Amino acid sequence: MTSVVETIAALRAQVQAWRAEGLKVALVPTMGALHDGHVSLMRAALERADRCIVSIFVNPRQFAPTEDLDKYPRQLALDLEKLDHAGVHLAFTPGVDEVYPQGFATAISVGGPSAGLETDFRPAFFDGVATVVGKLFIQAAPDLAVFGEKDYQQLCVVKKLCRDLDLPVEVLGSPTIRDAEGLAMSSRNAYLSAAELDMARQLNKVLRKAATALEDGADEASTMASARQAILAAGFDVVDYVEARESVTLAPWRKDRDGRVLVAARLGKTRLIDNVEVAAR
């Protein structure tokens, strides 16, 4: 049975008890509305640690005023059932006042891989992510933490956070979980109508075609332009970005480095992101 704690003090007490037994602890940070992609992160954590903590906290600091904070799906009872079924040992479900108490006035800003892409459209997003993840790492003191590769820029930012601040947490990326037609699992997929789901399933196909073209030596600028047009032709309303970047630093892509093609595109009221690997030539 998954135990549930809502306070930092209770979280620390449990982790300290595990430490006293010499147990290795993993953390999977989430915002809830859990799906098979999240469950895969929990399984990866349980393969590498003796105990697994999953945090469920919809972080207001990574939402802009125009974004969907109030509408973001919340289903704590269902989420806890999934944690129990997955074998998770502890759920940390703090309220906003527990994480950001009255007078909270600190933020963490990570440069490097946060530049461009998401930041061009959501300027405060990664400051909010870095701040809450930094707090979770301090609160839970895990040996390792698992993040999904679907949010690839976020994964790179968290790794940079740990490197630069010497946080003793091993950050692992877990492969994106997709449906049978290649659509990346996301809590926001629940917003899509049946027709929009059919359109959304074209996104990964366009990315894979672009990645293959780059691996075969195609010109980067024309390949990205073609990918943008293909995404719009599939029915998307707006393409925020579709770009090739180096896989570690997210600096501009070079053909002799492993890379990623990353995309953010809007379908109706829903914004989807995805990415695929590009092998070095």
Would you name the residues annotated as active-site residues?
38
Give the ranges where 141-254 is alpha helix by DSSP (H). Answer: 152-165, 194-200, 203-215, 220-233
Residue 32, annotated as binding a ligand? yes
Residue 14, annotated as binding a ligand? no
Three-state secondary structure call for residue 112? helix
Distance CA 218, CA 210 (A): 9
Residue 42, annotated as binding a ligand? no
Three-state secondary structure call for residue 248? coil
Residue 199, annotated as binding a ligand? no
Residue 177, annotated as binding a ligand? yes
Residue 230, annotated as binding a ligand? no
Residue 188, annotated as binding a ligand? yes
Around Cβ 69, how many Cβ atoms within 10 Å?
A: 14
Residue 185, annotated as binding a ligand? yes
Residue 82, annotated as binding a ligand? no
Residue 103, annotated as binding a ligand? no
**b vs e for 124-150, b when ≥16 Cβ sit within 10 Å of the residue's Cβ?**
ebbbbbbbbbbbbbebbbbbbbbbbbb
7, burial (CB in 10 Å: exposed 0-12, middle 13-18, buried 19+): middle
Phi-psi region of 278 (alpha: psi -120 to 50; beta: other; left: phi over 0): beta
The binding site for beta-alanine comprises: 62
Which residues are documented as binding site for (R)-pantoate? 62, 154
Binding-site entries for ATP: 31-38, 148-151, 177, 185-188
Please give the annotated binding residues, written as ranges. 31-38, 62, 148-151, 154, 177, 185-188
